[in-house]
Homo-oligomer: A and B are copies of this chain.
């Protein structure tokens, strides 16, 4: 056996542990009885420590060093690069901290659920403080040049820095605020009341499965369940799990499913021969999000998409009034500052992200104490969105991320929004009349293009390399700003200044 093969065997051990952790997390968010959380915390903590220890073990490090001489293909070199990057990160962090973070995450998830349900931030604050403290330690172990945020955000988006995110947000903040203002001033807010009701859960399940299947998510290699907070996970290119949720707003399930199916199709698109290796999966969270947002927004909130599916939707939900395509299209694209990020429209969405980014930076640096988070949050919502949450459940307790210690993650959502339009621009150039394809339910060419350009590359290239190879340039907010401006000027009949 070559060193390379021995290394792959060690990595398979790590992969098995990580897959078990993935399943434990999936189960905790879908089916686990709440009393199971204490055991789950212990089990997940231990397995994450074992995964870490197996990965950073001297034997793995030696094999990694020696395997470099064995690599004979581009794929093998890429695998070694990915593993080396992870080794550089993980060897800096003690296994005990990894166990502590995972274990606390499983407990904190339950604390967060309770706190949100009872609108009791104070009860969650001590746990959250501990979690931010662990993240701060993690960042110090990892090290950084400019800002503590850099150490953490690089874990989710290779090469990202606070400075880079600042620049990204600066480039879109004013145009977005202006667009929101113009929309508000237009006074032509669409009526979307017909989308609210007591919708049958099994009808929502069936319809969302139809949609996910239609766009190309392969249910032979995956499934959909429900969770309080929709997510996508998986432990094999042949076993990808989507989740959605059924609420009074019919769009929750529909766009939740299309969003997660976007993540899922990206995961399912890795080459079979890379399954269970570090080359499979999405290259970064920003690129991942570009795909979920593509299928949710660019495809799923387009008029052509619904010219195909509105009749089916009406057949499935007889209580829906006889709205026409235009009315429906305007309704699902209503722009309005609201409280909940995951239900925000395309235009205001990034403003929600900015609030979280600022919160994270302020807490990490110590400028903001965790106990003062609600006030800070509420004042930022007033500043960016012109609304103040009536309570913390709809305010700073709404997201799952911080309970899991996912700090540095939020800006990738905005990157995904921006990148989705940048990639779509190239897809349009290659495929031409995509609207006709969507209107006829023919998503195969669209999925095929994305598979070829993005999905089948897995984690082989650095995110920046992939972006350049697909779009010819680095992250560029222009296509996004042009795209949403044109879309919403049309929907709201805004007069375009000449």
Contacts and interface: CB of A to CB of B under 8 A. Distances in A.
Interface of A: 12-13, 15-17, 19-20, 23-24, 27, 31-36, 38-40, 42-43, 46-47, 50, 219-223, 225, 235-236, 238-239, 275-276
Given A23-B24, A24-B23, A46-B13, A35 B225 contact: no
Contacts of A15: 43
A107 to B, nearest CB: 13
A238 B23 contact: no
Contacts of A275: 39
Contacts of A42: 12, 16, 276
Contact of A50 (B13, B38, B39, B43): B13
A222 B33 CA distance: 6
A33 B235 contact: no
A55 to B, nearest CB: 14
Best-buried of A19, A34, A36 by chain B (most CB within 10 Å): A36
A19 B50 CA distance: 14
27 contacts: A12-B42, A13-B50, A16-B42, A16-B43, A16-B50, A19-B43, A20-B20, A20-B23, A20-B43, A31-B223, A32-B239, A33-B219, A33-B222, A33-B238, A33-B239, A35-B220, A35-B238, A36-B221, A36-B238, A38-B236, A39-B235, A39-B236, A39-B238, A39-B239, A39-B276, A40-B236, A40-B239
10 smallest CB-CB distances across A and B, nearest first, come from A36-B239, A39-B236, A20-B20, A16-B46, A35-B238, A16-B43, A35-B221, A19-B43, A35-B220, A33-B223
How many copies of this chain sit in the oligomeric assembly?
Answer: 2
A143 B202 CA distance: 54
A31 B224 CA distance: 10
Contacts of A225: 31
Contacts of A236: 36, 38-40
A461 to B, nearest CB: 24
B20 A24 contact: yes
A57 to B, nearest CB: 13
A276 B42 CA distance: 9
A113 to B, nearest CB: 14
A27 B35 contact: no
A35 B239 contact: yes
B33 A220 contact: yes
Contacts of A27: 23, 27
B47 A20 contact: yes
Nearest to A26: B27
Contacts of A239: 32-33, 35-36, 39-40
Nearest to A272: B38
B20 A39 contact: no
A46 B221 contact: no
Contacts of A221: 33, 35-36
A458 to B, nearest CB: 16
A16 B220 contact: no
Contact of A47 (B16, B33, B35, B220): B16
Contacts of A24: 20, 23
A228 to B, nearest CB: 16
Contacts of A222: 33
Nearest to A43: B16
A272 B38 CA distance: 12
A222 B27 CA distance: 13
Given A31-B225, A36-B221, 9 more contacts: A12-B42, A17-B50, A19-B43, A20-B20, A27-B27, A32-B239, A33-B221, A35-B238, A36-B239
Best-buried of A12, A15, A33, A219 by chain B (most CB within 10 Å): A33
A6 to B, nearest CB: 15
A20 B39 CA distance: 11
Contacts of A16: 42-43, 46-47, 50
